[in-house]
Amino acid sequence: MKKILVDSEKCSGCRICESVCSYHKLGNKFNRKKAAIKIVVEGELGENNTPVICRHCKKAKCSEACPVEAFYQDEKTGALVIDQNKCIGCGLCAEACPFGAIYLHEELSIPLKCDLCGGEPLCVKYCVPTAITYEDEQRLGALRREKGVQ
């Protein structure tokens, strides 16, 4: 399975990823508050940016917390996704995710969570500094290792 790899050091906080995500999910509207990826900004001068996006965990806390078993795995991409019809919008999954990678918005009836865009994540396509990339699972951690070995 391929996963989204995050390199916070490269993230500039431009939030294009949030915008394109919402554009895709909402059908041609922009709304960063309705995106399945979020940039968390920290530091005295806001110098640290961290993209927070679903890890598609193998033993996912979100789906474990779901009282109606609305979560299922997409066969093609391996993404853990929410079944619109089953979801009751309680938000327990959002509370359970250890990374805070599920988002709620007043106007949406089901939580927002990354579904890997069917295998071509738009956020990755538009991230100019390549802070997020879409790579084979075994590449997870490789960046750290490679930097460490040097």
Q: List contacts with another protein (CB under 8 A).
A: 9, 12-16, 19-20, 23, 26, 28-34, 40-41, 44-47, 49, 105-107, 126, 128-129
Residue 54 lies near ligand SF4 (rule: CB under 6 A) = yes
Contact 111, 89 (CB under 8 A): yes
- Tell me which of 119, 129, 141, 142 binds ligand SF4, using CB under 6 A: 129
37's CB contacts (< 8 A; 6+ apart) are 17, 18, 21, 51, 52, 53, 114, 123, 132
Q: How far is the CB of 15 from ligand SF4 (least distance, A)?
A: 5
Residue 5 lies near ligand SF4 (rule: CB under 6 A) = no
Q: How far is the CB of 149 from ligand SF4 (least distance, A)?
A: 25
In terms of CB distance, is 128 or 150 closer to ligand SF4? 128
Name the one residue in this structure whose structure tokens are 């990374």.
Answer: 99
- Tell me which of 11, 21, 35, 36 binds ligand SF4, using CB under 6 A: 11
In terms of CB distance, is 40 or 142 closer to ligand SF4? 40
Contact 115, 36 (CB under 8 A): yes
Q: CA distances (Å), 112 to each of 36, 46, 56, 98, 108, in order?
A: 5, 25, 14, 15, 8
Euclidean distance between CA atoms 48 and 9, whole angstroms: 8
Residue ranges that bind ligand SF4, judged by CB under 6 A: 11-17, 39, 49, 51, 54-57, 60-62, 80, 97, 99, 101-102, 113, 127, 129, 131-132
